[in-house]
Amino acid sequence: MNSLCRRLLISLCVCVLPSMALATEGSPTGDRQAPSPGQSASQATPAVPQKAPVASTLQPSQPPTAAATPAKAAETLAAPAHPRIGYVDLIRLGNESEPGKAGKTRLTERQKKFQSQLEAKRKQLDKQRAAIEAKLSSLSPQQREAKSKEFGKKVEEFQKFGRNAEDQLQELQQELSRGLYEKVEQAANDYGKASGLTAIIVKRELLYAASGVDVKDVTDEVIKLLNEKGQKK
């Protein structure tokens, strides 16, 4: 009975710990940010989405009995004396890992392309406006109105292009954030199992840990695993 009680106490400790979700901020639509690309479109880091905490498997309506099977007894003996928790820094994952750097480079290149196109269109509009203003004195009221409407349509097309470019950058940022999250989640899962950790959480979620809980920063290890997996592809 004493060993079963110890097992229940350990299970309760594990249930109240933060979830193993590896979220990322920076995504414009979500709390999970890509490991870089930054706060703006040019600096945004593929952010990573939240996962719901794992629900407790204890059933209050069915209290445990004193009898324990050999398998359960073995699980009790194998349980660690203290929970071992790892945490990762999402900003470092986005800025220092190879997948994070690749995502930031891709996003920056796309942004520069759009900026170049917008600048070329703006210069063209400036030339057209200057040409219209130079002829205003020789135009009739009807001609002026026609030129004004024609130029107004070109301005609307320019603005529409800018909005579409911004939407495409946001979609790309979200796509890169989701991809980075999946890679980080898999790397953390593999490292956690290999290292015998109870859980791996995001650094900002760790507000308190009791003295009996072993807490470790595993950011470097997860980054190393991410880079190794990328090289194998």
Could you report the per-residue pLDDT of 184-206, keeping only the tens digit for each?
A: 999 999 999 999 999 999 998 88
**In the chain, domain spans:** 2-52+65-232
In this predicted structure, which of 55-59, 119-123, 129-133, 208-212 has the lowest mean pLDDT? Answer: 55-59
pLDDT recorded at residue 7 = 47
Kindly list the distances between the CA atom of residue 98 and the CA atoms of 20, 25, 87, 226, in Å, as whole numbers in the listed order.
22, 18, 19, 7
pLDDT at 71: 54
pLDDT at res. 70? 55
* Backbone angle region of 190, left / alpha / beta, with phi > 0 → left and psi within -120 to 50 → alpha: alpha
At residue 129, the pLDDT reads: 92
Give 80-134 pLDDT, tens digit per residue. 567 999 999 999 999 999 999 999 999 999 999 999 999 999 999 999 999 988 9
The dihedrals phi and psi of 20, each to the nearest 5 degrees, come to -85, 10
Cβ atoms within 10 A of the Cβ of 90, count? 28
Binned at pLDDT 50, 70 and 90, residue 208 comes out as: confident
How sure is the predictor about 69, in pLDDT bands with cuts at 50, 70 and 90? low
- Both tokens of 79, joined, read 């349980």
- Return the bridge partners of 85, or none: 199, 215
Terminal-to-terminal C-alpha distance of the chain: 51
**pLDDT at 225 exceeding the cut of 70:** yes
Q: How far is the C-alpha of 49 from the C-alpha of 34, rounded, in Å?
A: 9
Q: If you average pLDDT over residues 64-85, what whole number do you get?
A: 58
% the chain with pLDDT above 90:
52
State the pLDDT at residue 231.
75
Percent pLDDT > 70 in the chain is 64
Examine the pLDDT at 4 and tell me if it is beyond 70. Answer: no
Q: Please report which confidence band the pLDDT of residue 230 belongs to, taking 50, 70 and 90 as the band edges.
A: confident
The upper half-sphere exposure of residue 7, i.e. CA atoms within 13 Å in the direction of its Cβ, equals 17
The answer to whether the pTM exceeds 0.85 is no
Mean pLDDT of the chain: 76
Range in 47-61, 69-83, 185-199 with the lowest mean pLDDT: 47-61
10 falls in which pLDDT band (50, 70, 90)?
Answer: very low
Give the residue with greater pLDDT, 28 vs 158: 158
Q: What's the pLDDT at 89?
A: 94
